[in-house]
Amino acid sequence: MELSVTKVRAFSRARQVLGSMASVRRAVMSRLDFRGTGAVGGTLSSASTRPGLGLACAVCPLAHRGVYHGLATPRRLVHARAAVSSSTDQQQQQDAEEVQLVLRTSDESEELLKIRHSSSHILAQAVQNLFPNAQVTIGPWTDMGFYYDFDLEEPFTDADLKKIRKEMIRIIKKRLPMWEEEVSVEEARGRIEENSEPYKLEILESILERDPSAAITIWHTGERGDKDHWWDLCGGPHVENTGKINPKGLALENVSGAYWRGDENKQMLQRVYGTAWETSEELQAYKKMKQEAKKRDHRKLGAQLNLFSIQQEGAGGGLVFWHPKGAMVRNQIEEHWRGVHLASGYDLVYTPHIANIDLWKTSGHLDFYGENMFQGIKIDEDEYQLRPMNCPFHVMMYKNQPHSYRELPLRWAELGTVYRYERSGALHGLFRVRGFTQDDAHIFCLPSQVTDEIEGVLNLTENLLSAYGFTEYEINLSTRPEKYVGSDEIWEMSESALKEALSRKGWDYIVDDGGGAFYGPKIDVKIKDAIGRKWQCSTIQVDFNLPERFDMEYVDEENNRPRPIMIHRAIFGSVERFMGVLIESYAGLFPLWLAPTQARIVCVNDSVNEYAKECLDLFKSYGLRVDMAGGESLGKLVRNAEVQKIPLVFVVGNNEVETRTLSVRSRHQGDLGAMGAEDIARAMNQAVVEKSKY
């Protein structure tokens, strides 16, 4: 099925503003080192916490044909209003398609970013007003809210949160000015020590360790000498005064544990989460979205539908056990992935799960990524290492024989399982695990081929993701950072190639200036799910580092031996995480082509079993996943199929036997009436082949 982009436009802010915001966010987050402070039992953000992700959106409408033709409704280019849960999936869909309200992330609105960041300061001030012994640590904004971590011996209660919010509103209503002051290192250290804030002192020292000449700024709330004056070591930005925050758009959500600096060997802190919006209507829509997200939690649905489990007690955390139904869905995803890649000119490869540690020294992973790798394995006199990434293996295969420029590009794809050390507190269902399968591929090409290859990857990305209903994308292009490897010429060539490929696609994007890796520029793609949440998904990364480290080369037209260009790319990111996103986006109700059980034949009484079995054999001859049930009341049999989220139910009674038909009930369309088994099988097969929505 051929896909095309019919409409591309940016979100609510101008590109220049958003690009600037991305730079501000990256600078502030890097300066205060907010990353790596994962919560234990807290709310996991649906989107990556990496700063500066792009905010342009591409919409690709799919043709939904076959047995469920006409059910798909084109989505508007806004954040979907949260679906209000109801007793039926049809009502849920109608609710989701009502008048839509834009729920902007902090990256999409500079004003909301300031409101949320300022709310975190007001939260910390309110806590210290009510709990003078509380020590403050960090308090950043998040995609749709904020949090602050506190060191306090007594745990916060729900009643405490109500008191804290009341105190926050008092501070807001005083319209206290928020202002910035740049101070010397000695002045900052002295003020922090005077307030007995050891965590702030550690933050100050970490800033200086990374950049001894860094500007040190303090943000004040209120004027000096005022009883409501409060300050924090911070890089901003903030609102002009506390009155800019709407109390009716402010909520404190929950409290969780969070290790200081994300290190389980350090102090356990209390993280208070909140959210802030410009209007009460936005807050209510956000709350509805959160309620819907809770119902869609892939951990809950995974257990309910018997898709997967994580055997914490017997096998350890972060290791996924795929049950038969989940394995069936995963197999459909992987087979689809393989088919698309083969059709796009890729070769499939398989590589080992471990390698001699010398490989990881050469690649640089041991030096730069060692903390995320498991300990080595002694084999004879050598040390081996579980792979955290697949790329060095593909490089070794490239180096196994000489290559001519005539052979390039080479496109090698692998569903390769990798293993990474994650602290127990960071593990989260399928989203954060210790063993996962990357849909990895590497392209080795000539400099002149980069643009075409990137465009090919973008086409493949659209082709794959749209088959799962993901047709709204946010695109971010990250460019050369201050410290980098490779020549200026090759960086400029690669960045131009990425921009040209995006231009050919007609996709708008935001440039995250300086946000690239030290070894090459990249494109990041976020997808938007059924309830408007964004998920970091695809990455396309140019790499100048590994070809140099491994002395890769090819023979060019003049018999010289230059380095090839290496492109890393993953479309899903990882099969596990993508599966988690799918479960939540579909609310467990997979489309027909993915559903582990596509249909169930329900027998009204035992006398119809023979005909039902005949129909079952027919469906199986088409390769369809259909089973049969009976022996209970019709209502219970149908209800069981609904609970298991089976797309189609075929009821067989005496009348159906006589007319040689089946009464068809669709999860999405309701009662479709009587149809012949052969006609149903053909229509289902067509829907599966076309990857129809239903």
- The 3-state DSSP class for residue 168 equals helix
Do the Cβ atoms of 43 and 144 come closer than 8 Å? no
Measure CA of the first residue to CA of the last residue in the chain; give whole Å: 16
Give residue 366's pLDDT.
85
Low-confidence ranges of the chain (pLDDT < 50): 1-20, 24-99
Name the CATH superfamily for 599-689: Anticodon-binding domain (3.40.50.800)
Q: Tally the residues of the chain.
A: 694
Q: How far apart are CA 164 and CA 170, in angstroms?
A: 10
Give the residue carrying structure tokens 């990353």. Answer: 35
* Dist CA 518 CA 598 (whole Å): 47
Q: Which residues make beta-bridge pairs with 537?
A: none
Q: What is the pLDDT of residue 69?
A: 27
User: Tokens 């209007």 appear where?
Assistant: 279
Name the residue among 664, 666, 678 with its Cα closest to residue 618: 678
Q: What is the pLDDT of residue 99?
A: 45
Looking at residue 313, its pLDDT comes to 85
Type of residue at 170: R
Strand order in the sheet with 382-386: 354-356, 382-386, 377-379
Please check whether residue 604 is in contact with residue 629, taking contact to mean a CB–CB distance below 8 angstroms. Answer: no
| Whole-prediction pTM | 0.80
* CA nearest to 466, candidates 537, 556, 516: 537
Q: Which of 314, 308, 169, 141 is nearest to 248 (CA)?
A: 169
Whole-angstrom distance, CA of residue 597 vs CA of residue 629? 12
Question: What's the pLDDT score for residue 426?
Answer: 82
Could you give the angle at the alpha carbon of 210 between the alpha carbons of 206 and 213, nearest 5°?
A: 105
- Are the C-beta atoms of 392 and 359 separated by less than 8 Å? yes
Cα(347)–Cα(302) distance, rounded to whole angstroms?
Answer: 33
Task: State the pLDDT at residue 80.
Answer: 26
The continuous run of DSSP H or E covering 28 comes out as helix 15-32
Strand extents, DSSP E, 361-461: 377-379, 382-386, 410-419, 435-445
The pLDDT of residue 369 is 77
User: Of 220, 208, 207, 140, which Cα lies nearest the Cα of 181?
Assistant: 220
Residues carrying an active site annotation: 391, 420, 438, 440, 442, 522, 568
What pLDDT, on a 0 to 100 scale, did the predictor assign at position 100?
A: 63
Q: Where are the domains positioned within the chain?
A: 599-689
pLDDT, residue 375, reads 87
- Give me the pLDDT at residue 55, please: 27
